[in-house]
Amino acid sequence: MSRQVILDTETTGLSWEKGNRVVEIGCIELVERRPTGRHFQRYLNPEREMEPGAAEVTGLSWDFLRDKALFTDVVGEFLEFIRGAELVIHNAAFDVGFLNSELARLGPDFGVIGDHASGVLDTLALAKQRFPGQRNSLDALCKRLGVDNGHRTLHGALLDAELLADVYLAMTSGQSEFALGAEDAAAKASNDGILLALAPVVRRMLSEDEAAAHRARLARVAKKSGGTLVWGTDA
């Protein structure tokens, strides 16, 4: 059974190295590329203020977050949700770096994200391969792939995970259909060739009048060209 978890985080700022923390985790489960309806979402108390830029794009504030659970309170449930799944993340280095930082705060027994998931697929890297030289933000991909993100006025981990699930499925769909289409086209070309080869060749003999008319036409062409036609005037 192929199990994937689409994951996104929101944070107090852009750098975990500078002490920024995770304030929201959002996850969507896919099994055999189909949403199961299971999800994981938690707001977290980061034990610090939001940076102005992060507060602006998320709409989250310290006043809203101060009474939420700490990461240590939800880590067991979170790790159980992602256990054994392939994580699908947009700009994976960012989210994985923050989550590994949170795990490190709890001690070495918690390891890193790679110890709990089966692997990580970075949809940003995937998009850069498919659409080189183009903008590949989540919003840009939604627009390019026809995913409705009109309700995304602010960044939210669960909302962004839902959008990313649609984007990921759209980016990776059609591969088997394309292969089947190519096989069908090749088969059709082959069949057309066979039918052409099998088509009977119809030979029609000219009547004497038609042969005479043909010779007369060739003679007129030869006269106009000032020479003799290479194929002669014999029918």
> What residues are labeled active site?
155
> How far lies 70's CA from each of 22, 43, 169, 187, 212, in Å?
10, 9, 32, 60, 103
User: What three-state secondary structure class fits 179?
Assistant: helix
Q: Give the whole-angstrom CA distance, residue 102 versus residue 78.
A: 12
User: What three-state secondary structure class fits 138?
Assistant: helix
Q: Give the whole-angstrom CA distance, residue 228 versus residue 63.
A: 102
The label of the residue with tokens 């030289």 reads 133
Residue type, 111: G
